[in-house]
Structure 1
Amino acid sequence: MMNIAMIGFGNAVVNYHLPYLAGREGIKVKTIFRREEDRVGDMEREAYYPDIAFTSDLNAVLSDLDIELIVVATHVDSHFEYARLALEHGKHVLVEKPFASTSGEARRIFELAERKNLIAMANQNRRFDGDFLTLKKVMESGKLGSIVEIQSHYDYFRPAWVKPGFTMLHGLAVHPIDQLISLFGRADRIDYDVRSLAYPGESDDYVDIDFRYGKAKMTVKCSLLVSIEHPKFVVHGDRGSFVKYSSGHQHKNEHGPTVVSFEPEDEANWGTLRYVDDDGNSRTEKVPSEVTDYGILYEQLLAAIRHGTDKPVKDDEVLYVLDILQQGVEVAKQAQT
């Protein structure tokens, strides 16, 4: 059994960690650390998790010999320090995205982990979204032939969220960017169109980034001003095309802990694949959706800790993504229209 402690008790922990670890074999969340000021007036939610100990004593968590892994799920400004403390106390560490404020900070954490013979890893859980897993399944089938274009959308219609500050790249775009990097690695060239439609030079509420791989182009688009849903993925190859809308990934209880469903997605939201087969015939298929399961990342991390297998999210991928995010912010700061 691997005992885990979590630092933080916000949206990420409640909706993207705990529900996917409930009943997971070989993994137990033993303790959650919350700052005392964060618990004031917000103790009721802790009762939803009677098997987890809540504490405001960070030293008690760090010194607990039963805890092997500490999950850092706080604001990015504190990721570096919490990760450093965890490693210094002999704990493996899993850090929410973005892993650090800069690639320089991330590199220091990875170097410390290596010196301590421990694992530090970014929680790029969206690699286990059902829609992305479905995309990978289609690509691996070979039916599309050589990929020439992928469009990846992560959009909302939230005009009230458009405010000064550089948050979209690190908050939303980091997911599809990491997904593409996990598939294709370092790009030959990156073209940035990152700007603000409301606060020119002061925000990054419009993201349109092209990644070039030879003749292929992979595009990540994020916006808070999209009121009609785009497909999550549009993919074109030299033998066919694939379209998939976003997969849902959870059900929230109004009163109580978030509970997720692992039931197959309804056929109405399956992907559509059209391609030319080996006999030259045009075929159209509905592609069943894979199931979103962020607990898979934990299982693979546990295997890396116990058996020395590869980490599911590599250090160089994390560093590369952080550099892309920072370059995008610099482009946004310079954009005046």
Structure 2
Amino acid sequence: MQLIKVGLCAFGMSGKVFHAPFLTEHPGFFMAAIVERSKQESKAKYPDATIYRSVEEMLQSADIELVVVNTPVQTHFEYVKKALEAGKNVIVEKPFTVNISEALELVKLAEEKNLFLSVYQNRRFDRDYLQVQKILEEGKLGTLKEIEIRFDRFRTEPSAKEHKENPNLKGSGALHDLGSHLIDQATQLFGFPEKLFADIFSMKGSAFANDYFEVLLYYKNDLRVRLKSSVFTKEAHYAYILHGNKGSFLQERTDSQETELVAGAIPTYNEDWTKPLTGTDGILNYLKENSDSERTLTSTEPGNYMNYYQDIYEHIVFGKTLPSPGSEIIQNMKIIEAALESSDEGKVVDLTNY
């Protein structure tokens, strides 16, 4: 098996949870380098990886062909650009960048260098999202009319992460963070909308970055898709609510990969590794061909973030389609930027201008 040497730009939460375990367990990758500015935490679990004290040092010294930029979003543009200029393929954490202009420049640079640039949209591999995809493909809901996708939390106290909480930093706040997942799922399922209206602010107060948003996407044929997130949600809502002219589907957010990884679970290659779901987590109610109603409780199959890295490996080795390329994620950045404009000015924004 061809071995791909990888460099990790940071060893914080995302490095420890979402990247290092998968890169280590996938037989096609070798984690050759990790940036830790002052500590050596990675050495215990990943002794074969060389520790570098800066991204610049790693790019100059390490024998790697793929760089994972998992630093705060405010640094994404700088580090992705440096990695591309050093001749490295790049995976960058979501959100891609803080604005459209940065994203466009990086996509153009990657094309000029004949390198790939992929955005780590791992929530495409959540069990609940995959179930929604499956239900839509079955077509039992008929013509879709109204959709709601939510990602709620109960975190009433601010975190210690300056890059996420400081309202004066571009790219901070829930819209760029959780919103990048919901927007990506909406565009994957329904395409790019025609217009939007948004309400975005901080429930914790103006001293903190936005922690609440509601973005209403307008599609052709009168389809409405509502994306919503709040940190003051003690009791969970259904994460996905889909209504069509023949039925409805309600899906809970039950993917446990992040929770299990934080608790120390080790993902496995080429097989399910999360704990199986006990019970049901969805409701499907639709009209059959004879107009009788059928209401069933549904259960999701496991998701697996390893599939993202498998797709990356197959792109490098076999030339298969690149997962979530930067050129595709630009559309998500447009929605984020238009949503901020809509909320600031209290108006519906025509996305044909973006």
TM-score normalised by length of structure 1? 0.88
Deviating more after overlay: 133-142 vs 189-198: 189-198
How far apart, CA to CA, are the structure 1 residues paired with 2:282 and 2:24?
A: 29
Shift of 1:123: 1.0
* Residue aligning to 2:225: 218
1:183 to 189, 192, 196: 189
Matched residue SS, 1:131: helix
How far apart, CA to CA, are the structure 1 residues paired with 2:248 and 2:324?
A: 28
1:95 to 92, 97, 100: 92
Matched residue SS, 1:32: strand
Task: Give the letter for the 1:127 counterpart.
Answer: R
* Residue aligning to 1:315: 326
* Residue aligning to 2:260: 251
Aligned length: 328
**1:168 and 2:174 aligned:** yes
Shift of 1:11: 1.1
Shift of 1:311: 2.0
Shift of 1:154: 0.6
TM-score normalised by length of structure 2? 0.84
Deviating more after overlay: 192-201 vs 25-34: 192-201
Shift of 1:110: 0.8
- The answer to whether the 8 A contact 1:273-1:284 is kept is yes
- The answer to whether the 8 A contact 2:68-2:91 is kept is yes
**1:9 and 2:44 aligned:** no
Cα gap change, 1:29 to 1:164, in 2 (>3 Å): closer
How far apart, CA to CA, are the structure 2 residues paired with 1:6 and 1:269?
A: 38
Matched residue SS, 1:67: coil
* Residue aligning to 1:109: 106
Task: Give the letter for the 1:262 counterpart.
Answer: W
Cα gap change, 1:90 to 1:167, in 2 (>3 Å): same
**1:193 and 2:204 aligned:** no
Task: Give the letter for the 1:323 counterpart.
Answer: K
- The answer to whether the 8 A contact 1:193-1:209 is kept is yes
How far apart, CA to CA, are the structure 2 residues paired with 1:199 and 1:178?
A: 27
* Residue aligning to 2:119: 122
Instruction: Give per-residue Cα distances to partners, 1:67-107, cap 9 Å, x unaligned.
Output: 22100000112111111111111110010111112111111
- The answer to whether the 8 A contact 1:195-1:331 is kept is no
Cα gap change, 1:108 to 1:44, in 2 (>3 Å): closer
- The answer to whether the 8 A contact 1:181-1:317 is kept is no
Matches within 5 A, 1:1-337: 1-36=3-38, 39=39, 43-56=40-53, 58-59=55-56, 61-63=58-60, 66-161=63-158, 165=167, 166-199=172-205, 203-214=209-220, 215-247=222-254, 248-249=256-257, 250-252=259-261, 257-260=264-267, 262-263=273-274, 265-333=276-344
- The answer to whether the 8 A contact 1:265-1:291 is kept is yes
Task: Give the letter for the 1:227 counterpart.
Answer: K
- The answer to whether the 8 A contact 1:159-1:225 is kept is yes
- The answer to whether the 8 A contact 1:231-1:244 is kept is yes
Q: Mind listing any 5+ residue stretches in structure 2 that lack a counterpart? A: 160-164, 347-354
Cα gap change, 1:27 to 1:281, in 2 (>3 Å): farther
- The answer to whether the 8 A contact 1:154-1:176 is kept is yes
How far apart, CA to CA, are the structure 1 residues paired with 2:285 and 2:203?
A: 36
How far apart, CA to CA, are the structure 1 residues paired with 2:279 and 2:241?
A: 17
RMSD: 2.4
Identity of aligned residues (%): 30
How far apart, CA to CA, are the structure 1 residues paired with 2:293 and 2:128?
A: 24
Task: Give the letter for the 2:46 counterpart.
Answer: Y
Cα gap change, 1:164 to 1:23, in 2 (>3 Å): closer
Shift of 1:129: 1.1
Q: Mind listing any 5+ residue stretches in structure 1 that lack a counterpart? A: none
Cα gap change, 1:187 to 1:57, in 2 (>3 Å): closer
Cα gap change, 1:120 to 1:228, in 2 (>3 Å): same
How far apart, CA to CA, are the structure 1 residues paired with 2:300 and 2:275?
A: 7
How far apart, CA to CA, are the structure 2 residues paired with 1:5 and 1:264?
A: 30
Deviating more after overlay: 171-180 vs 10-19: 10-19
- The answer to whether the 8 A contact 1:31-1:54 is kept is yes
Instruction: Give per-residue Cα distances to partners, 1:160-194, cap 9 Å, x unaligned.
Output: 12866251111111111111111222102111122
Matched residue SS, 1:159: coil
